[in-house]
Amino acid sequence: MAPHRRSRPPSPMGIRTPAIATAALTSVALLSQTANAAPSEEPRPSLEEVEKKVGDLYRQAETAGEKYNAAKEKTTKQKKRVDTLLDDVARRTEKLNEAREELGTFAAAQYRTGAAAPDTASLLLADNPQDYFDQTQLMDRLTSRQKQSVDDYVTQQTATTEKRQEASENLETLTRTQSSLKTSKADVQRKLATARDLLSKLTTEEKARLAAIERQKREEAQRRADELARQQAADAERRRQEAAQGTGTSTGTGTGSAAGTSGSGSTAKADKALAFARAQIGKPYVWGASGPGSYDCSGLTQAAWKAAGVTLPRTTWDQVKAGTTVSVNSAQPGDLVFFYDDISHVGIYIGDGMMIHAPKPGAYVREESIYYMPIHSVVRPA
The set of catalytic residues is: 297, 345, 357
Cα 275 from Cα 147, distance rounded (Å): 67
Instruction: Using only the alpha carbons of the chain, give its radius of gyration.
Output: 39
Query: CA 212 → CA 39, 100, 255, distances in Å?
Result: 33, 79, 34
Cα–Cα distance between 69 and 59 in angstroms, integer? 15
Nearest Cα to Cα of residue 299 among 61, 60, 69, 63:
69
Measured from the Cβ of residue 38, the count of other Cβ atoms closer than 10 Å reads: 5
Q: Say how far residue 93 (Cα) sits from the centre of its chain.
A: 39
Is residue 354 within 8 A of residue 368, CB to CB? The reply is: yes
For 210, which DSSP code? Answer: H
Go through 235-268 and write b for each residue having 16 or more CB atoms within 10 A of its CB, e for each that does not: bbeebbeeeeeeeeeeebbbbbbbebbeebbbee
| Omega within 30 of 0 (cis) for the link into 292 | yes
Other C-beta atoms lying within 10 Å of the C-beta of residue 335: 29
Q: Taking the mean position of all CA atoms in its chain, how far away is CA 212? A: 31
Centre a 10 Å sphere on the Cβ of residue 329 and count the other Cβ atoms it contains.
12
Backbone dihedral angles phi then psi of residue 216, each to the nearest 5 degrees: -65, -40
C-alpha dihedral, 71 to 77 to 80 to 85, nearest 10°: -100
**What does the alpha-carbon distance between residue 265 and residue 256 come to, in Å, rounded to a whole number?**
7
Strands (E), the chain: 324-326, 336-339, 345-351, 354-357, 366-369, 375-380
What does the alpha-carbon distance between residue 316 and residue 346 come to, in Å, rounded to a whole number? 7
